[in-house]
Structures are given as structure tokens and as C-alpha cells.
Structure 1
Amino acid sequence: MFRPLELFIGLRYTRAKRRNQFVSFISLSSILGIALGVTALITVMSVMNGFERELRDKILGMIAHATIESRDGGMDEWESVVERAERHPEVVGAAPYVTGEVMMTRGGEVSGAQLRGVLPEMEGNVSRVIENIDGDAAQYLEPGEYNIILGWALARELGVRPGDRVTVVTPEARATVAGIVPRLKRFNVAGTFDVGMYEYDRGVALVHIGDAATIMRLGDGVSGVRLQFRDLMDAPWLASEVGRELGGGNYRVRDWTREHASFFHAVQTEKTVMFVILTLIIAVAAFNIVSTLVMVVNDKRSDIAILRTLGASPASVMGIFMVQGTIIGVFGTILGVAGGVALALNVETIVPAIEQLLDVAFLAPDIYWLSDLPSDLQTTDVARIAGVALVLSLLATIYPAWRGARTEPAEALRYE
């Protein structure tokens, strides 16, 4: 079988038992260092991808891909707007909504919240909140009944259960013979919902759109229409298209990236920073390859001299040591990829087990948006990380291999 001389000798040097145990130790530490860096990088990038996915899914489970609002305030002709918007081939759902900031009280407990009026039969077209309502409480959202469904954290904050009553206070006041008093209305708590994001579970309450329009003084109108697109990543340009078709002068169409882009930009920035920081672990391990090969070159000076006298070119000598260093990088990368993939695929099982063992919550639900550590392993990330590790390992071999190629045979064999 044909094997290049450089590859043959490089593999032989790698397999040979070293007389210098320190060199062997550094070689092993280089492999383990690269493996550790690759494992950490794959795991962290997978967790960051999981955070991005969960944020996107859960945020967009509560908000729509785009919203249509009238420039004049309330929207009375929302049925026509829904019909016209659904004509667009990329729009898969549309639903009206009413929203407003309110204060909720029960006994001595007071909490601010966003009151959202929905049509239960249409809300499922644009969000997943209806799917996350406990039991069959959604059926109690009937016009004129003044029933309300609270996020579980908001219900806990107010100390209410299904069947209790809460008072909703709007920021608008009304003039009476007794003076200026706030407008308020008592609602029956029909149930709770849990979308998995404390920000919404703590700050949103659902009522029928008719009840919300009444207390917000919108009459038969609504605050706007929410849209769901076939692909949420196309929302920016699709929102512009829908706006033009509706008549840009009368309506304002905003997509989700304008309201929540900061979250995803923050995640992207953190992913980039973590990639750079953890790549330094691989770089440090690659630097150990330099140390290993420098000592190997010093140990093999006589072998290099013999090869040179037999006709080996400086490029061939350089190739021998580059093969040896690259093998260290390849083994470290393979171990790191195997460990990283295994850890990333099981992090959602390992972390809860550690939390249970240590009796600690790493992501407290009342502090963080997400209470579970998600993971989303992507092959492009694995390939990119493995490529970076291999390139750094290859670059680390250049200097010691170049030093070995410059060895003068006569000088190396003078004292042999």
C-alpha cells in the first residue's frame, strides 16, 4: 500500500513509546485540553441555541408574528381587515385583540397586569395561549359574563383561585358627583394558564374581547388585529407587504422583530462572545502541541540528521512533525465532538438530576424567563467547532516543524 514517507514516519513517531515521559504527559494533556474545549464549546452553543429556540417559541406563543393597528386609534372594521389580511398566501391566521394596562386587586393584594381581550374561537390562529389554559376554562370567556383567566403566577400573587373574584381598575378616571374616581369592574376568575415564561404568567390576564372593549371604552372596536405567518423569519417583509395591500396610510403594521429584537440580539451577542471565550481553551491546548513538538524535535535531532543525509528534503521533515501534531489535534477533536454531542443531547436530563441531587434550582422561575435548561444541537455548530479545533491544531504544528526542518545534519551528528 502506498503511504507517503512523511505520513509513515509521523505515525510511527506517534505510536512509539517515548523515552521522555514529560513529552508524553504534555501530549496527553494537549489531547485532553482540546477535547475539553471542544466539549464545552459544543455544549454551551447547544444550550444557547436552546435558549434562543425557547425564547422564540414562548414569546411568539404569546404575541403574534405581526400586528395591524389603525392610525386613528380603535379599529371598528376589524372583520374586513381580517378578511383582507387572510387573502395573503403567507398569512395562516388572523385574530382581533384588545389590550390595555390595568391594576388588579383582591382584598389587600394589588398587582399591575396587561389585560388582553381575545376571541377564544380565533385566538388559537395566532397564539398558543389557549392551549395552555388549565382545563376547559376557555369556554367561560363569554361576552357580558365578565370572566377572567389569569396567568398562574399572577393568580398566586393575588391569592385567588377559580371561582374567586378580582377587581380590575383601568388607568382612565370618570367624573361623578363625588368627584373624579377610577373606573373599575369586578371579574370572576374562571381559571389560569401557564405558558412557561414567568414574564407572561405573572403579567397577563385574558378576558373576552367584548368585555375588554367595554371597560376600555372601545365600543364595537378593537385595539388591532394579530397575524400569524407561515414562516416567522419572513415576518419583516411580509408585514410590509400586508401593510401595502391594506393601504399604508390608514394602518400601521408592526412585526415581532421590532418589539422583541433585543432579546434575540442579546442571545446572538452572547453566543458570539461565548464562542470566542471558549475557543481560547482550544487555543491553550493547541499551544501545548507547540511545546510537545519542540521537545520532540530536540529529542529527534539525530533522526532528522540521518533522514536529511539519506535525501529527505526540509519540506519532508517539516511534514513529518506536522503529521504528528495534527494527529494529536484530530484525536482531541474526535473525543471532544463525541463528548460534546453526548452532553448536549442529554443536558436536559443531566441538569434536573444535578438540581435534585443538590436541592438547588439553577434557573429560578421567578427570576429567569426560562426555568429549564434547554438544548438544541445543530450540526453546523459541531462542524464549525471541529473545524476551528483542527485548524488551530494544524497552525500549532508549523513553528516546531519549521524548526525541525532547519536542523543541520553535520551539527546534529557532531557529538553522536
Structure 2
Amino acid sequence: MFTPLSLFVGWRYTRANRSNHFISFISLVSTLGLMLGVAALIVVLSVMNGFDRELKERILGMVPQASINGYDGSLSNWQPIREQLLVAKGVEGVAPFVQAQGMLTASGRVQPVLVTGIDAALEATVSIAANQMKQGDLNSLKAGEYNIVLGELLARFLGANLGDKVNLVLPEASVSVAGIVPRMKRFTVTGIFSVGAELDANLAYVDIADAARLKRIPTGEIEGLRLKFANLFDAPNTVVSLARQLDARVYTSDWTRTHGNLFQAIQLEKRMIGLLLFLIVFVAAFNIVSTLVMVVTDKQSDIAILRTLGATPGRILRIFMIQGSLIGFIGTLLGALLGVLLALTVSDLVAWIESVFGIQFLSADVYFISYLPSELQMGDLLLIIAVSLGISLLATLYPAWRAARVEPAEALRYE
């Protein structure tokens, strides 16, 4: 079978030979360096994509993508407003809410908490809370029964289980015969949810009527409406536009104000880490340059013989470009395979290490999620492979150009 001369000679020079094992070793190091650089890039960018996905699906699945709040702290006649918002383009769900910050106490322990009063029947249209229940049921929240659903970490800190009583203390004083005392109410724990994020430690749900009564909001009124959009990136502009169409006095909020900095930080870190890890690929490319330079020096007599047999400078150029490109191709291919394998298994691998050694790399007390996520995206994979192959090809140009400039008479003078 016919094989082009440039490809045949380039492949022969790539393989190990007895004349110079050091050059073969440097070639192997270049391949391994490129493989590790590509694999590290794929794994790290997949982990950053995983954090980005978890922020969108879990954190932003629990907190409002956007909200329309009553200007004076309450919103009356909200049902027609909800119906008006539901028919707006891009709106997938609208649900009422009442929020209060306070302290939960149980068994002598105290924890700060953000209590959200919800309508359990409507909450599923704007939140994933009902799907994250670990114990109990979100529908257990009924008006007048003063039930509460806690995050898993919050319940653990308080030592509270299903059926236990917890006291909610609001930072608002009430005047009684005993003087000025904090506003307090006892709740029964009827559910525990877990999203594997910081919300498990500081979020609780109660019925919206119970929350309104505690905050002394008039009967039938709410604090605001939570909205869910088909595209969460439309939330900031769309919610402002919708609010302007309402007859009520309202103000808006959206996820970019509450969690936008976290999202931007993840995007920035992904770009910076990707840029830094590309330096590994550049280092491997420099190894390719040094390998080819030594090969050109070692093979000058061979190059001279090929030239005397009729090989053109362009053919000599292609021989060494093919050799360097083969190193880059093999290193990139092996790195891509290793990176894909690790990206698909890194979450399970880290979980196994944590269970075996009894350690936790990501604590919900410090990080916004408590496990290492990973999401392999084809766009990132193709970009890494293309850039790696491109850098490898560019690294061959100078050594190949030097090889093409070898003069046969000068190279064979002392042979």
C-alpha cells in the first residue's frame, strides 16, 4: 500500500530508535505533558460547569428568580395580579410569599433562619422544594396548624426531627402585661428538605397565612409574588417590564441581586482557571519544540541524503511537522480520553474518598453546595482538543523550518 514519504519518515522518527534514546524520552515526556494538560483542563472545566449547573438548578430553584413586592410591605388584591402575570410571555409560574428573618430555638440551641411563608399548592410552580423533601411533605403546611419544614442542616443543628417542637423568635417586639417581649411562636416540624447546599442550613417554610399572622399583615394580603421564567437570564429585565404594567405600587427584585455575584464569580473563575491550565499545554508544546530541534540536529545527515535523493525543502518541512503533529495528536487523544473518564466519574470518586477516609472536602457551612459536581460539555471538549492540536502544530513550525534549511553539502562534509 502506498504511503506518502513525509508521513512514512515522520512516523519512523516519532518511534523509539536505538541511536538516541534521550530524544525518544523527551518525545515521551512531551506526549505525557500534553496528555496531562488536556485531561486537567477537561476535568477542571467540567467541575466549574457542574458548579454553574448546581447554582442554576438547585440554588436558583429554591430562591426566587424574581419577585414583585408590595411597596408598603404588603400586597392586597393579589389574585388578579397573579393571573395577569401568568399570561405574560416567558413566565412559567407565579406564587405568593411572606418572608421573615428570625431565630429558631430547640433543645437549648439557637440558629438564625429565613422563614418563607408559602402556599404549598402553588409553590411547586416556582420552586423545586417539593421535589427535595427528605422527610415529611410540603403539603403538611396548612393554615392555623403552625407546621414548619426545615432544611436538613438546620434540623441537624437544632436536633429537631419530625414531630418535634421548635420556637420561632422574630426581631419585633410585642407589648404585654409583662412588658416588651420578642414575638415568639411554637411550630411543629412536619418536613425536612435537602438540596445539598447552603440553603439547608438557613431556610425554613411555613404556611403563608401563619407567616402573615406573625408579621401582622392584614388577612388576605401577602408580601409579594415570586416568579419563575422559562429563561432565568430574562428575569432582571422582564420583571421590571411586568411591574410597570401593574396598577399596584410595587418594587422588584431578582436573582442577580441576591446570587448574581456568586454566578459571576463562577464564570470568572472558569475563565481564569482555564487560562492558567492552558499554560500546561504551552509547556508541553515547548517540549515538542525542543524534541524536534534535537531530532533535526541528530538527523542532519539523513536530511542531507534525502535532499540529494530529490526531496524538496517543502517535503523536509512536512516530515518534521508530521512528527510533531503526531506527538500532539497522540497526547491530545490520550488526554481527552483520560479527561472524559475522570470528568464523568470525579463526583463518585470524591464521594468514595470522603466515605473511606471520613473527611469532607466541601462543607455546606463554607461552600454553597456540599459535594463536587461535574458536567462535561461537548463545546468545552471540542475547544480544548482544537486548541491543543493547534498549539502542537504551531510548535512544529520553527524546528521544521530549520530542517528545511539544512544544506546537504554542509551536513555531509564530515561524514
TM-score range, shorter chain: over 0.9
Amino acid at match of 1:342: L
Amino acid at match of 2:170: T
Deviant stretches of 4+, over 4 Å: 1-5
Post-superposition shift, 1:74?
A: 1.0
Post-superposition shift, 1:289?
A: 0.8
Tell me the residue number matched to 2:402. Answer: 403
Amino acid at match of 1:193: F
Runs of 5+ unmatched residues, structure 2: none
Evaluate the alpha carbon distance shift between residue 169 and residue 357 of structure 1 in structure 2; reply closer, same or farther with a 3 A threshold: closer
The answer to whether the 8 A contact 1:81-1:225 is kept is no
Post-superposition shift, 1:16?
A: 6.7
C-alpha separation in 1, matches of 2:344 and 2:9: 39
Tell me the residue number matched to 1:214. Answer: 213
Evaluate the alpha carbon distance shift between residue 232 and residue 18 of structure 1 in structure 2; reply closer, same or farther with a 3 A threshold: farther
**Post-superposition CA distance 1:232-280 (Å, at most 9, x none):** 2332333233223325x83223332232111111111111121122111
- Map 1:75-94; keep pairs closer than 5 Å: 75-94=75-94
Post-superposition shift, 1:30?
A: 0.8
C-alpha separation in 2, matches of 1:194 and 1:316: 64
Tell me the residue number matched to 1:227. Answer: 227
Post-superposition shift, 1:136?
A: 4.1
Tell me the residue number matched to 2:112. Answer: 112
Post-superposition shift, 1:190?
A: 2.1
Tell me the residue number matched to 1:360. Answer: 359
Amino acid at match of 1:401: A
Tell me the residue number matched to 1:132. Answer: 132
Tell me the residue number matched to 1:71. Answer: 71
The answer to whether the 8 A contact 2:120-2:141 is kept is yes
C-alpha separation in 1, matches of 2:328 and 2:64: 47
3-state DSSP of counterpart to 1:266: helix
Post-superposition shift, 1:112?
A: 1.3
3-state DSSP of counterpart to 1:163: coil
The answer to whether the 8 A contact 2:130-2:137 is kept is no
TM-score normalized by the length of structure 1: 0.93
Post-superposition shift, 1:31?
A: 0.8
Tell me the residue number matched to 2:265. Answer: 266
Tell me the residue number matched to 2:43. Answer: 43
The answer to whether the 8 A contact 1:115-1:205 is kept is yes
Amino acid at match of 1:122: L
- Map 1:161-200; keep pairs closer than 5 Å: 161-197=161-197, 199-200=198-199
Tell me the residue number matched to 2:296. Answer: 297
Runs of 5+ unmatched residues, structure 1: none
Amino acid at match of 1:371: S
Percent of aligned positions that are identical: 51
Tell me the residue number matched to 1:333. Answer: 332
C-alpha separation in 2, matches of 1:170 and 1:339: 54
C-alpha separation in 1, matches of 2:104 and 2:345: 42
Amino acid at match of 2:96: P
- Paired residue total: 414
3-state DSSP of counterpart to 1:373: coil
Tell me the residue number matched to 1:28. Answer: 28
3-state DSSP of counterpart to 1:246: coil
C-alpha separation in 2, matches of 1:261 and 1:2: 60
Post-superposition shift, 1:214?
A: 0.8
C-alpha separation in 2, matches of 1:303 and 1:5: 14
**Post-superposition CA distance 1:363-383 (Å, at most 9, x none):** 234433222221101111111
Does residue 342 of structure 1 match 2:351? no
Amino acid at match of 1:50: G
Amino acid at match of 2:413: R
**Post-superposition CA distance 1:307-332 (Å, at most 9, x none):** 33344333332222111101100011
Tell me the residue number matched to 1:389. Answer: 388
**Post-superposition CA distance 1:321-369 (Å, at most 9, x none):** 1111011000111111111111111222222223333332222344332
3-state DSSP of counterpart to 1:161: coil
C-alpha separation in 2, matches of 1:170 and 1:8: 80
3-state DSSP of counterpart to 1:407: coil
C-alpha separation in 1, matches of 2:353 and 2:167: 43
Tell me the residue number matched to 1:149. Answer: 149
Does residue 245 of structure 1 match 2:245? yes
